[in-house]
Amino acid sequence: MKINVKLVTSFGTVLLITLVVFGIISYYTFAESTHNTSDKIITLQSSEVIYHATKDLNEAVSGIEQQLATYMQVNACSLNSEAETQQLFEEFARNTKLFKAITLYFFNKGATPPEFQTWLQEVEKDSLKPFFLRQPTDLFLLWPTQTPQGRAFFVININQAQLASTLRSYLSNSGYLNISGAVIMLTDKGQPITDPIQQDLTSPLDTALLSTIDTTTPTEHVDVKGSVFVYRPPDKLFGADLTLVVPNNFNQENMLILKNRIIAAMLVLGWFSIWVMLIIAYKISNPIRKLSKVTKDIIAFNYSTDLEIPPSNDEIGELAESFENMRQKIKALVTTDPLTQVYNRRFMMHIFELAVMKALRKRTPLCCIMMDIDYFKKVNDIYGHQGGDAALMAVGKVLRDISRNYDTPARYGGEEFLFLLPETTLADTITIAERIREAVKQLVIPFEHTEIRCTMSLGVAELTVDGADNTDKIIHDADQALYQAKKNGRDQVVVYQDPTWQPAPATTQPE
């Protein structure tokens, strides 16, 4: 398995496990707190509904009281007739949508309807607090007041449809939660005084379920058959309890929202983490891939490939620097003759084979020069092996100086050198061979307290492009031409001829 695959797999596994554990812990950690928070918010929402309803009814009745006081001042503090009174309160009711009808009764005139007598006794004891009263089909708000003619009370027939609409709007616009399917119920001593008010009329709760709710239990949180939750704030709305019934799936919906947010957060985190891991894996594996490629090139005797790893202060940078130093040392050991500093025979044969294949494929010229130092044995005999080494080093320098970037000079063995010239015609090769011969002949090699001079014999051969030649054949031809140069008297360049060519008799025997 590739290292980058291993990195991505290992990092990905760790990330996946981390995200799963994080998700599970987050879900169960926030589950209970979300439920408790919902309880507090819904209870607060119920109290806010009571506050707004109380405020609006107070303002409405206060407006009627002000209008009544103004009317009685204008009319000498008296309601002149029952018809006039009825017309006045009909006008008051028309100006307030929550009220269907308004009637004013005085405590001291004995005209109070019997159904209100019990309430009047409670009012006497309870400091004149407003109170909802339920009659068979109507809902009344009994509101004590003080007039110039004495203590009195309003009997206000509530528009129940408008009250339901108002309470529904309070619940929807409270600014906390929009609870789909919630129901508001007003009860007095456990008995309902309004029909259940559905917040969302498109998905109402089952009325049979609502009838099973115990509205007398003094608690703020009651689970009814696992279907609904009942919230009842301690505040009252003019003596009536406000009960808010919430579907059980409300908390489940909140948890679903939380779960979706956690999943979304994990997906975003995972997406960015994967990219971070990929970048890290690439940063680590890319230099290793480059090192692997360069290593394969080294095995193939190709030392020209650039490492392409920018310097850095981390382990990768140190590894790249050490590898490049090692590659240069290997290159010197494997390719270069340590004495003459030209290529060695092993590397030359590798380059030669590649050059021959390329020349045959592209049908381009290729020549080589086989050369040998004349009378090298005498140099060793006269100056010793140190003198012979000095002569070899000097010849190696000449070859390096004359060679072009794409030429390959090499030490073939002993005092023999081989010079490869790709994409070079025979005529140009002869010219280069003559330059080498002349340069060697002009050499003055200082050695100890004397000077060494030497000459070279050179044989030139050309690769034919008819596909019959190969590496061994062209080297053999160049060697035959070198042999002929030695037979002809040395210190000369001989070009390999057709086998039918008859060389001139040698003036001396080759060494």
Instruction: Indicate which CATH number applies to the domain containing 445.
Output: 3.30.70.270
The C-alpha atoms of residue 346 and residue 337 are separated, in whole angstroms, by 10
Whether residues 345 and 267 fall in one domain? no
Whether residues 356 and 283 fall in one domain? no
Whether residues 168 and 67 fall in one domain? yes
Give a yes or no: residue 323 inside a domain. no
Report which residue type is found at 163.
L
Cβ neighbours around 441 below 10 Å, total:
13
pTM value is 0.47
Enclosing domain of residue 419: 336-495
CA 209 to chain centre: 50
The C-alpha atoms of residue 501 and residue 511 are separated, in whole angstroms, by 23
Confidence at residue 379, expressed as pLDDT on a 0 to 100 scale: 92
- SS3 label, residue 9: helix
- Closest Cα to residue 61, out of 186, 167, 158, 187? 158
Cβ–Cβ < 8 Å for 461, 481: yes
Whether residues 274 and 371 fall in one domain? no
Whether residues 469 and 342 fall in one domain? yes
Confidence at residue 284, expressed as pLDDT on a 0 to 100 scale: 74
Give a yes or no: residue 308 inside a domain. no
> Tokens for 388?
């012979």
Whether residues 214 and 361 fall in one domain? no
Please name the residue that has the structure tokens 């990092």.
11
The C-alpha atoms of residue 406 and residue 358 are separated, in whole angstroms, by 13
54-to-43, 159, 380 alpha-carbon distances in Å: 17, 15, 126
Give a yes or no: residue 306 inside a domain. no
Confidence at residue 132, expressed as pLDDT on a 0 to 100 scale: 83
Give a yes or no: residue 319 inside a domain. no
Give a yes or no: residue 382 inside a domain. yes
Beta-bridged to residue 223, according to DSSP, are 229
pLDDT < 50 positions in the chain = 218-225, 500-510
Is 463 exposed, middle or buried (CB count within 10 Å of its CB: 0-12, 13-18, 19+)?
buried
Confidence at residue 205, expressed as pLDDT on a 0 to 100 scale: 65
Confidence at residue 491, expressed as pLDDT on a 0 to 100 scale: 94
Number of domains in the chain: 2
Confidence at residue 33, expressed as pLDDT on a 0 to 100 scale: 55
Confidence at residue 203, expressed as pLDDT on a 0 to 100 scale: 62
Q: In sequence order, what DSSP letters do the residues of 67-84 get, joined into one string?
A: HHHHHHHHTTT----HHH
Whether residues 228 and 341 fall in one domain? no
Give a yes or no: residue 49 inside a domain. yes
Cβ–Cβ < 8 Å for 421, 407: yes
Beta-bridged to residue 367, according to DSSP, are 421, 462
Whether residues 112 and 33 fall in one domain? yes
Whether residues 290 and 343 fall in one domain? no
Give a yes or no: residue 473 inside a domain. yes
Please name the residue that has the structure tokens 């108002």.
166
Whether residues 430 and 361 fall in one domain? yes
Give a yes or no: residue 193 inside a domain. yes
Whether residues 143 and 205 fall in one domain? yes
Whether residues 290 and 433 fall in one domain? no
